Amino acid sequence: MPRNRSCKKCRRSTVPTVVVAVEAGRDVYACADHRAELAAPAGDLLVTIAQYQDMARRRLHP
């Protein structure tokens, strides 16, 4: 199943997005405009792990 990497707030997928939170076991992606609004609390270890996994997936499946 392909991953939906569009921004959760504006649904744009043509701009770079990053994982900013994890909700119900799913990564939450956000564009630069909505990162602060959707971000998990600073230091959330689960988000850090999700970001590393996302980077690895992008290297394998660009």
pLDDT tens digits along 3-61? 788 999 999 888 899 999 999 989 999 999 999 999 999 999 999 999 999 889 888 77
Look-up of token digits 């991953």: 3
Q: What is the pLDDT of residue 1?
A: 46
Q: What is the pLDDT of residue 62?
A: 63
Mapped onto helix, strand or coil, the DSSP state of residue 28 is strand
Q: What is the pLDDT of residue 32?
A: 94
